[in-house]
Structure 1
Amino acid sequence: MRHRTSDLDRVVVVGGGRAAVAAVEELERLGFTGAVTVLAGESRPPYHRPACSKGLLTGQRPADVQLSTSSSARWLTGRVAAELDAKRQIVYAQTGEMYVYDALVVATGARPVIPDGWPVGEPGLHSLHSIDDALSLAADLRKAQRVAVVGAGLTGCEAAYVVRSLARECIMIDSNPQVMTRAVGSVTGGLIADTMRHEGVRMRLGRRVKNLSRCRRGWRLDLDDGSHVDADVVIATLGERPDTDWFTARHADTSDGLLCDESLRVQGVDQVVAAGAVARWPNAWYGDKPGRVDQWIAAMELGQAAARTLLSGSRAAPAVGVLPRYWSDLFGLRIQVCGRIDQTEEVAVTELRPGRRDIARGGVLAAHRRGGVTSGVVAVNAPRQFTTLARAMREAGPARPLVSLPAVIPNQRRLSLVG
């Protein structure tokens, strides 16, 4: 089917990440023949952002992580959206250029959270979000001796793994009593933290950085218990915030990303859809209040869904459901997650190889449940069991009971039931 109508000839996509690429590809696949213009804020072509905390820190070339882009769309790099005139349907870039649209796809993703007053960009002080961030950090790591990682989320733990693989001293600071709390939950995060300690990462968990200042050798981090940490290099991995400052539409809700309906149409604004980490919508997979999903695979699926909704015009579009999936390899641990990890839910944690001192390395499976329904699964060094459970979740569909753990782990031993 060819898609070109008199009222949908010019599509503007704001953002140059995975969601933007997926939206453009889906428009092309569905036969849209109008003009597509992509405003990508970074000066580089689109790339695999997860590589910033992985391969790029250890020598992988930027060209090796680039995403292929559509030949039919007009890709404009270095164009940061500065303002939106939703009434006249115009996006203004920081360059002063203006782009008129019939339909708009917002895929601006998120920006790293940096504490006020932290002079990121000065020698030895880094965030870790873009290719340029990764290349700058990699250069400093080659000559560093002691590195402080502030923030023990998924990105922070991957950075700590690289630091230790380079035989550098690593100190990790986080306000939570375990690592990767949001990504894998508190119980599994505690087991992963134990493995990281065994691998030489010095943990200052349950602590906050009150002050950061220059010192003779690099940086001094004053903690809330009165102690301090000295480091040659500091890596700030304190999470991300949806990039919506430019979205000035009067009636839009930008309190946590862009509030959308179940089909990713931005509420309060005509002819605008959102995709990726910037979209907040009632995920049909869970059927509850609006929320965001900011993983790489989800960005692709949301970009595709946003393009389909856009081409539906004023007709009803299907509700969008995304089952989060992500993974990481660090410190000899294969970490895999499927579904939503909620700290308020009951968690059944199972040990695969009882008796091992390093429980995480021996294999762990954690099922997060609410009302008898498994909403998320975390596996550590349990790829076969994870594949079985993740497949069962996808086949069962939203809000359906999942196969019980003993059915996939015949020699399992229950560690704990938390909830």
Structure 2
Amino acid sequence: MAPPWVEHAMWWHVYPLGFTGAERAALDPGAPVVHRLAHVERWLDYLVDLGLNGLALGPVFASATHGYDTVDHYRVDPRLGDRADLDRLLAAAHERGVRVLLDGVFNHVGEDHPLFRAALAGGPGSPEAELFRIRFDDDGPDWDCFEGHRSLVTLDHGSERVVDLVADVMTHWLDAGADGWRLDAAYAVPTAFWARVAERVRAAHPDAYLMGEVIHGDYPAFVAASGLDAVTQYELWKATWSSIAERNFHELVWTLGRHDGFLEHFVPYTFVGNHDVTRITSRVGDAALAELALVVLATVGGTPAVYYGDEQAYRGVKEDRAGGDDAVRPPYPPAPDDLPGRDVAPDGWAAHDRHAALLGLRRRHPWLHTARTRVVEVTNTRLAYEARASDGSGAALLVALTVDEAPWRLDVPTGAVVAAPAGPVDGPGPGPSVDVPGPGWVVLEV
């Protein structure tokens, strides 16, 4: 079970190498450190003003290129700064009541990692070779790698020394002030390994949040076997954008039923965008339709995360090629005041304001963390569902979404009040009703 503070956590997910405009590859040996983490620090007040209270940082440790090819888990990437810079960022976040989640790459390391280089040099039987799944034969060494990328060398998760290494790295940075870990490619690692590591880490930091990246499969079984608190809810991510883009809310309804089942076992980490996927505004076609996805994120059970740029209606398409992530990992301006003004980027600021309104709505209803959903009405193009507290208190919201062009007059319970956006509940039918703009949405307290 996740630590109690996670009930109120809502994350701003930042990919720091892209956010700060860092170089694409590691600095040359001996090059001066570039102190870019202060750039992230300057956005903390923006994060708080948006209604969030967590900073989910992408990789910040020394790597060869994109951050997921780590070469030193104990050193801040010189393209971002040094240990003092990370210490200042953690302190500045905590001064504002903002928790910090670090990104841990423990399925594999970069091929330039000193331990792997020592394993190759030492050959079979060397202490370092025990850390990797390397095969030595007459044709030279070969090794297991992550999803066909030879430069991403898989660790041997059956090795006690790898358990020691990962538990030590995680504990080291929790000791430094981090509040938890996102575990990259957790799906590729045996759950028994995570269970052993989690037990060691929690012995030192029982209040740490441990969340794994899992795309497909049996989420509850993975959480139970791994000892982690949560996994990424990719099923809900896909159904949300797909239902809007393909005008098929039946897909979302089916997925919400599965999501309720997950909530019986754990609270998933929910999102509509991240550093690995096409941006929601690009997926569904425009910023107004992207709002519908945000409404789902804000009103369905889970621990929600907003990917930087989505709150400004950024566009970006993920492509399967070298550099194909660049469009979804862009730099941010030096500070919030440097964002384009409302006259230049009206979609961006409308998206920002809607995020603030819906995140505020969620903050006022903390029971949404474990809320269950009940479908009230569904067609291909319209969906109304009730989000209800799981604690028996009776607290509930009625959420209506439509991708139709025409407005939708929806009958609502007597006493319902529009919570967002502002609008009347009126007649003249046999009972009260509300007009849902087309395309658009309404959330009511019932």
Alignment TM-score, normalising by the size of structure 2: 0.25
Name the one with the larger helix percent. Answer: 2
Alignment TM-score, normalising by the size of structure 1: 0.26
Name the one with the larger strand percent. Answer: 1
